[in-house]
Amino acid sequence: MLICEKPSAQELDYTKTMNLLDIIRRTEEPEPWEEGNKLAWDDPAFSERILAEHLSQEHDEGSRRTELIDAHVDWLHNALLKGKPSKVLDLCCGPGLYTQRLTKLGHTCAGIDFGPASIRYAKEMAQKAGFKIAYTQGDVRKTDFGSEYDLITVIFGEINVFKQAEFLAIAKKAKTALRKGGILLLEAHRFEAVEEIGMGAPFWYSEESGLFSETPHFCLAENFWAEEDAVATVRYYIVDAATGEVSRQAWSTQAYTEDEYQAVLREAGFKEIVFHESFGDVEDESFWLIEAHA
C-alpha cells in the first residue's frame, strides 16, 4: 500500500553517504516522523521490490494473501454494499487487489496509491481483464478524490501512517467525496497494536536480496515508543555487505484510542460511526474496522 507524499532526500536519508560510525553515533531516540515517513514507496527500485511483497502468498505483510482478500471483498460486497452496484474509491490501493475483485462483482472502482510499480501493475491487470478502473499514482493528501462515491476505503492500517492533522484532512476530503449516506471504511490499528510495535526489541537480519536492497546486505532495526505522542517509530539501517556503505529509513505509526478515532471522524463531519471487531468473519486483533457514515 502507501505513504503518499514524496519526501525529500533529507527526510528519507535513503542515501549512500552514511557509514558504520553514523550508526554508532546515531540519535538515541528519534522524534516521530523526523527521519522519514514510511519507507521509500515512490523510489522506483524499492517500489518494484514492495510489489513483490504485495503479491506474495507466503505472508500477509505487503498485502493479505488471496483467501483473506477474497473474504474481505465478500463482506464488502454482501454485508456493507448489500450486493448493489456501487461507486468505490480505494485509498492506498496498492496493486489493486480489492478494486479488481469489486469491479468483477459489478462495482465501479477507482484507486489512488503512491507506488509507481503498484499502480503500473494495477493498470496492467485491469486492462488484461477488460475492466475500466481509474487508477492514479499520487499523494492521497493532495490528489483529487472525485465525488459521489458510495464507499471509500483505507485498508490495512494505512491511515495510521499519517499525522493526526493529515488523518483529519483526508477524512474531510473523503466526507466531501462521498454521496449523502456514503461510507468511509477504515481498517485502523488498535492502540495496543501500535504500542507493541514501538515497544519491540531491536533486531537484525542478513539477506542476499530483499526489500531494502537487491544485493547482499544486513538490516539493523530499532523500535521506539513516544508515549506522550502515542507514536511508534521503526528505524532501519541497511548495510551493504560488499562495501560497508549504510543507508537509513524510518517510519512512524500514530496510535489512537477508540474515542480519539471517533473525535477525528466527527470533526470531519461524519455522524454515525460503528466499530467492528473483525472484517466480517476474518478476525485480526491488531485492527478495528471503523464504518463512518456521511
Distances in whole angstroms, Cα of residue 74 to Cα of each of 49, 209, 247? 29, 36, 42
For residue 177 the three cell numbers come to: 467525496
160, 189 contact by CB (below 8 A): yes
pLDDT (tens digit, 9 = 90+) per residue, 131-172? 999 999 999 999 999 999 999 999 999 999 999 999 999 999
Domain identity same for 75 and 220? no
**pLDDT band with cut points at 50, 70 and 90 for residue 46:** confident
Domain identity same for 160 and 239? no
Decide which of 224, 239, 254 is a domain's last residue.
254
Return the residue matching grid coordinates 473525535: 263
Average pLDDT over every residue of 11-23: 65
Domain identity same for 214 and 142? no
- Residue 20's contacts (CB-CB under 8 Å, 6 or more residues apart) are 239, 244, 246
Half-sphere exposure of 194 (CA within 13 A, CB side): 27
- Which DSSP helix (H) or strand (E) runs through 240? strand 231-240
pLDDT (tens digit, 9 = 90+) per residue, 197-239? 999 999 999 999 998 999 999 999 999 999 999 999 999 999 9
Domain that holds residue 27: 15-40+193-254
Residue 8 lies in a domain: no
**pLDDT band with cut points at 50, 70 and 90 for residue 187:** very high
CA neighbor of 146 nearest in space, from 179, 181, 104, 103: 179
Please say if the pLDDT value at position 35 is more than 90.
no
Residue 199 lies in a domain: yes
- Cα 86 to Cα 107: distance, rounded to the nearest angstrom: 5
Average pLDDT over every residue of 52-78: 93
Domain identity same for 247 and 275? no
Per the structure, the count of domains in the chain is 2
Please say if the pLDDT value at position 37 is more than 80.
no
Residue 6 lies in a domain: no
Q: What is the pLDDT, as a whole number, of residue 3?
A: 32
Average pLDDT over every residue of 13-40: 77
Residue 173 lies in a domain: yes
For residue 285 the three cell numbers come to: 486483533
Q: Which amino acid is at 200?
A: G
190, 286 contact by CB (below 8 A): yes
Domain identity same for 263 and 228? no
**pLDDT band with cut points at 50, 70 and 90 for residue 16:** very low
Domain identity same for 282 and 138? yes
Domain identity same for 35 and 169? no
Q: What is the pLDDT, as a whole number, of residue 105?
A: 98
Residue 7 lies in a domain: no
Average pLDDT over every residue of 48-61: 89
Q: What is the pLDDT, as a whole number, of residue 17?
A: 64
CATH code for position 134: 3.40.50.150
Local structure of residue 199 (DSSP, 8 states): T
Residue 25 lies in a domain: yes
Q: What is the pLDDT, as a whole number, of residue 2?
A: 31
Domain identity same for 164 and 237? no
